[in-house]
Structure 1
């Protein structure tokens, strides 16, 4: 016969307190003395009590779900980001539900809100109707355009990361450097920082037209092919993300340009794609796992009723040198 489940009644009896006081401890209420809180916590530990999150959520009219709104399932940045976000939420009993906005963003937002999530993480440009007065708490992850003043944000420092990428190439002796640009908040920040860093080095920046859709490998290939044909003297490319950088590697191969002997390529995000041995891409680690963890902690605080001033956190990226960059070719 399976062991009987330990309840808060058992905890209350063992601690010598009321069931209501145990409930207050479980909710983290400040109106409990330190002595009583300690007795309850010791009783829970000794009895092996495991909190019934589902029952707690039902009583509080909550769903214990968090929605994650993204704009592109194929963007590998989300892999590490979710690896950081999900464990933080799961530790507090929350389940993560991922929704891709697609072409009809209004329908995606309405569909997400219809499931009554306790909170939402937005990893795309923020839809206006997602921060209405009756909407759940929202945290924005990543550098985005038009972020409402009322939400918490966490992102890596895209301007610093782009500067690190550009300075790495300049330090290797490259003077003809192209940038494969992408639209959106992060893309715009990386683009602007690349241009500024090149001009500070006394060099002329070459920039492709920003990709108006998902910055994929296919788009990176097309942009790099056009750039390399139009400017055959280019010896290095900085791509807005790793997927576009892999596309640039494909274009270089097609045009007979050895990487890194004739052309150096650097990406951004340090995705699983960049870490593949066959690719071994030099890139910028945007610390997306840490961004996910921070987004989870921020959202939990808001879902638990925090009314502190809005928090805007920036995570510092780092350069990861692999085998796709080298000193500029001579001559």
Structure 2
């Protein structure tokens, strides 16, 4: 009796159609991101090979997990909440879900923070943190970088808010209110560097003296507190502060309170990121909105596009931030 023909696999389909396994996965999930010619090629190969994916094969199409791994800076910095919301919303159309890892949380047990994701065979990686020398990026896994970073990842797509423009607009807003003694408390990383550059650019353009405190690499509430105490000690005439992010702005507000200053009567404070905590009734923080949900949606599009065409050229997208006026800025009090 003739041997039974071996059952076709997703690898066979990919080879016959001349596409990647990830693209076959997208076709199996009926993703709208696949072009008509490629979809037709995959469907023709499926028919020719009589390919019948099992439920497990569909879920793990191409030996992957239908999962996009997302590496963030720090769970305590809530800037990423809206990013993840937009990312999940955008990926759901392709049947993909996200898994999130804090870069520093498991640093004591994993030398490479990507290793956990790669061992579960994620379809793509989203890097919402600074790349480190320990990170090894395999060529077969698409990478998209969310936000401005000091170190570039070769071949990766990038979507980021224009941090330098945002900081410049924040300072221009404070100047329009009448402030002349404006300080900046920031931290480390690519976004912080660009926000600092935007601050300096706006201050120079207005002919004002700059006062910068850098708490590198931390961008936490605690570092914002300590940086503001230092700034007010060095420049007691300061009437306004641009903080490196909303967490640092919280520290600035606490430092102002402990120094006997009222916000915004004695000291105006602007945060950055428009994180969920900025709109709480307690804070009502004026902040620059990085449009992180929109950023997440755009990152999702880049992930899906790269899965559909792994060989396409890397893309870089810049998004324009906007000022959200709430309750922590006012004209300076006459002293």
Aligned residue pairs, count: 294
Is the contact made by 2:112 and 2:135 (CA closer than 8 Å) also made in structure 1?
no
Map residues 36-47 of structure 1 onto 2, 5 A cutoff.
none
1:201 to partner: Cα distance? 0.4
Report which stretch shifted further, 171-180 or 225-234: 225-234
**Aligned-partner Cα distance in 1 for 2:182–2:102:** 34
**Aligned-partner Cα distance in 1 for 2:63–2:149:** 32
Q: Which residue of 2 aligns with 1:65?
A: 67
Is the contact made by 1:125 and 1:147 (CA closer than 8 Å) also made in structure 2?
no
Deviating above 2 A after TM superposition, structure 1's stretches of 4 or more consecutive aligned residues are 23-29, 51-62, 103-107, 126-135, 304-308
1:274 to partner: Cα distance? 0.6
Report which stretch shifted further, 229-238 or 58-67: 58-67
Q: Cα 1:133–1:171, aligned 2, differ >3 Å: closer, same or farther?
A: same
Q: 1:87 aligns with which of 69, 86, 89?
A: 89
2:191 match: secondary structure: helix
* Structure 2: gaps (5+ residues): 1-26, 45-52
Alignment root-mean-square deviation, CA = 2.5
Q: Which residue of 2 aligns with 1:123?
A: 128
In the superposition, the TM-score normalised over structure 1's length comes to 0.82
1:278 match: secondary structure: coil
1:211 to partner: Cα distance? 2.8
2:236 match: secondary structure: coil
Q: Which residue of 1 aligns with 2:18?
A: none
In the superposition, the TM-score normalised over structure 2's length comes to 0.81
Q: Which residue of 2 aligns with 1:257?
A: 261
**Aligned-partner Cα distance in 2 for 1:210–1:313:** 28
User: Is 1:305 matched with 2:309?
Assistant: yes
Q: Which residue of 2 aligns with 1:206?
A: 211
User: Is 1:161 matched with 2:166?
Assistant: yes
1:73 to partner: Cα distance? 1.0
**Aligned-partner Cα distance in 2 for 1:317–1:61:** 39
Is the contact made by 1:70 and 1:100 (CA closer than 8 Å) also made in structure 2?
yes
Q: 2:58 aligns with which of 56, 59, 62?
A: 56
**Aligned-partner Cα distance in 2 for 1:221–1:61:** 48
Is the contact made by 1:131 and 1:138 (CA closer than 8 Å) also made in structure 2?
no
Q: Which residue of 1 aligns with 2:330?
A: 326
Is the contact made by 2:29 and 2:94 (CA closer than 8 Å) also made in structure 1?
no
**Aligned-partner Cα distance in 2 for 1:31–1:196:** 48
Deviations 1:254-299 (A, max 9, x none): 1111111111000100111111111001110000000111111101
Q: Cα 1:226–1:31, aligned 2, differ >3 Å: closer, same or farther?
A: closer
Q: 2:37 aligns with which of 30, 33, 37?
A: 30
Is the contact made by 1:156 and 1:291 (CA closer than 8 Å) also made in structure 2?
yes
Deviations 1:74-96 (A, max 9, x none): 11101111111112122321121
**Aligned-partner Cα distance in 1 for 2:232–2:277:** 23
**Aligned-partner Cα distance in 2 for 1:275–1:80:** 13
Q: Cα 1:291–1:54, aligned 2, differ >3 Å: closer, same or farther?
A: farther
1:225 to partner: Cα distance? 1.4
Q: Which residue of 1 aligns with 2:77?
A: 75
Q: Which residue of 2 aligns with 1:221?
A: 225
Map residues 144-293 of structure 1 onto 2, 5 A cutoff.
144-213=149-218, 215-293=219-297
1:140 to partner: Cα distance? 0.2
User: Is 1:111 matched with 2:116?
Assistant: yes
Q: Cα 1:56–1:173, aligned 2, differ >3 Å: closer, same or farther?
A: same
* Structure 1: gaps (5+ residues): 1-22, 38-50
